[in-house]
Amino acid sequence: MRELIGLIPLIPLLSSATLMLFAGHLSRFAIGLLGVGSVGIAAILTAKMGIDFLGNPEVFKVTLWTWMQVGTFSSDVAFYFDGLTLVMMSVITGVGFLIHLFSTEFMEEDVSYARYFAYLNMFVAAMLILVMADNLLLLYLGWEGVGVCSYLLVGFWYQNSANGYAARKAFIVTRIGDTLMALGLFLLFTELGTLDIQALGDAAKDKWQVGDSMPLIACLLILGGAVGKSAQLPLHTWLPDAMAGPTPVSALIHAATMVTAGVYLIARTHELYLFAPIAMIAVALVGLATSLMAAFTALTQHDIKRILAYSTISQIGYMFLALGVGAWTAGIFHLMTHAFFKALLFLGSGAIIHCLHHEHNIFKMGGLRTRMPVTFWSFMIGSAALAALPMTSGFFSKDQILLQAYQVDGIGPWLWFGGLVGALLTAVYSFRLVFVVFFGQVNTEPDKDTGWRMVIPLSLLCILAMMGGWIIIPVTQVFPLAVFEHPAHWVEYVSIAVPIVGVIIAYLIFLGGQLKVDVFTNSFVMQKLQQFWFSGWRIDWLYDQLLVRPYYGLARALKLEPVDNFYRLVVTISQTFNQWLSAGQSGQMRRYITSMVFGLIVLLAILVRAS
């Protein structure tokens, strides 16, 4: 059974290859069957491995073949299987399967049906390689693989050049992080002589002391990679634009799986981070800053997918915060529950967009509660989990993160307070979305209702988003046991109460109307602040000024080839001399003689003077 682990990424990969090569010869039904079925088989195999693992929790490693060997460096194509891998694989294949099923209905009228599933299957394969990899090099292969698939899927509707731009932006911005991560890998290899993740931990224990500068640099470089992939500050700008892709893609790649790869990477290399406390604090601060920034931005957006995108950025910020305070289990737990409820929300928004002629603006929706009941309940449950209302899955994971953040010496209470502000905002913006879209008067009438291929994934994800908090993830062997003292009771009560307060505020403003905020929001300062938040804190503008425009200027300057101009000058000079000299060679014998004579006279005169 263990050897079959290689099949799990292989089956979606083969299906992807088949879809690419034989797209023209397959019926739409066959394409759907292949695309969904391959991920389904992978999900069944994963479930089987999971059941085996829970019965007999034994970590194992399967080496398939040696990938490359150069001098002392060798890298295997090897898969490592432990509790963390299992959690990630379950999320990828399980949620991935539901999203594939949803896609068959969402994309049914699209001409590029086969291309869509080819990319989506390839993505699943790459993501599985990423989480199953035994060494960082193979992980990097999967890491780049998901990046390519993300690019292809964001720009899926490439006929619109704006989508192509969004795809390029997603690719290039994450590339900055990837470069940092590659540098980190080089550094780790030169320092510790291996890239096997388990061996790295052992080698670090031999060679490094806590607080050394080398682990700090390596961990910060890896953090750079994670920040790029997981859309954290300052490399988060690609994710809102990546919403140009089909909505199920946003659900799978930009909510449930790929963007959490950074969280997985840091959790996987947590043994290295233990040697760099400063890097851990950096992770926590990046996470907290991002989660607050994105939450404020999400408050002001009116594109349904952009709200969800910023909320994803914000939630991944929470995961980073968890990783930074050493609450790895809580971070991975939040990763899982977030995958459930955010996939649910994205699929729900996909259903709305599908039934409302690709309408994205939430203020043109409204009153959909009675028109689309399944979607309404999906959104209610998803938003409740996102806001971390008690008894939903998000409650359990976010509560753990906040309480463990509180435990940190020194800055702990501040981290907790920041997280709490974020939680309040999360509750407000997520229920603003629900109240505006599903209540009030009907602005656009949906022209169809969701079919069974949408209802089944939504329902299953509803159950997961509600009940996911009761799952106990089997990662006790992976992470060191957190020393967890229960903080004072009031801390816990406040953590529970804040999201409820947020929901009530959202109700009073957006539905009940008891809270009149118009005077407040129409004031000059608030208008400016709203614009500032709406533009994503003008970070895109900042990058445009700092990087894009200087780059264009440089490109324009280089277009004139300044270096070549120097060499052109040399050419011009020698050509001028050539013209002068060749003018002298006229073929006129008499002129030659005359010039020789005068030359001789001059020479003679000089000689005579000299003597």
Partner 1 sequence: MEGLNIPLNHILLIASLLFVIGMLGLMIRRNIIFILMSLEVMLNSAALAFVAAGAHWGQPDGQIVFMLILSIAAAEVAVGLSLVLQVQRRFRSLDMDSLDWMRG
Contact residues toward partner 1 (CB under 8 A) are 585-590, 593-594, 597
What is the rounded CA–CA span in Å between residue 559 and residue 549? 15
Give least dist CB 611 to partner 1, A. 18
Give least dist CB 586 to partner 1, A. 6
Give least dist CB 600 to partner 1, A. 10
Beta strands, E only, 37-96: 60-70, 73-81
Report the run of H or E that residue 218 belongs to, with start and end: helix 213-229
Give least dist CB 552 to partner 1, A. 52
Residue among 452 and 592 whose Cβ is closer to partner 1:
592
Length of the chain: 611
What is the rounded CA–CA span in Å between residue 361 and residue 496? 32
Give least dist CB 582 to partner 1, A. 9
Partners of 73 in beta bridges: 70
Give least dist CB 548 to partner 1, A. 58
Locate 544 and state its tokens: 């445009």
Residue among 559 and 590 whose Cβ is closer to partner 1:
590
Asked if residue 285 lies in contact with residue 324, where contact means CB atoms within 8 angstroms, the answer is: yes
Give least dist CB 577 to partner 1, A. 18
Residue among 476 and 586 whose Cβ is closer to partner 1:
586
Residue among 565 and 588 whose Cβ is closer to partner 1:
588
Locate 567 and state its tokens: 């060499």
Give least dist CB 550 to partner 1, A. 54
DSSP 481: P
Residue among 391 and 593 whose Cβ is closer to partner 1:
593
Residue among 172 and 600 whose Cβ is closer to partner 1:
600
Give least dist CB 607 to partner 1, A. 16
What is the rounded CA–CA span in Å between residue 382 and residue 255? 13
Residue among 1 and 583 whose Cβ is closer to partner 1:
583
Residue among 528 and 591 whose Cβ is closer to partner 1:
591
What is the rounded CA–CA span in Å between residue 226 and residue 165? 23
Locate tokens 């080496």: which residue? 63
What is the rounded CA–CA span in Å between residue 343 and residue 525? 36
CB-based contacts of 196, cutoff 8 Å, min separation 6: 134, 135, 136
Residue among 161 and 579 whose Cβ is closer to partner 1:
579
Nearest to 215 by CA among 276, 151, 171: 276
Give least dist CB 603 to partner 1, A. 15
Nearest to 176 by CA among 215, 233, 97: 233
Report the run of H or E that residue 429 belongs to, with start and end: helix 412-438
What is the C-alpha R_g of the chain? Answer: 31
CA atoms within a 13 Å half-sphere pointing along the CA-CB vector of 431 = 24
Residue among 370 and 585 whose Cβ is closer to partner 1:
585
Residue among 44 and 603 whose Cβ is closer to partner 1:
603
CB-based contacts of 546, cutoff 8 Å, min separation 6: none
Asked if residue 275 lies in contact with residue 204, where contact means CB atoms within 8 angstroms, the answer is: yes
Give least dist CB 591 to partner 1, A. 9
Asked if residue 194 lies in contact with residue 71, where contact means CB atoms within 8 angstroms, the answer is: no
Q: How far apart are the first and last CA of the chain?
A: 108
Asked if residue 538 lies in contact with residue 531, where contact means CB atoms within 8 angstroms, the answer is: no
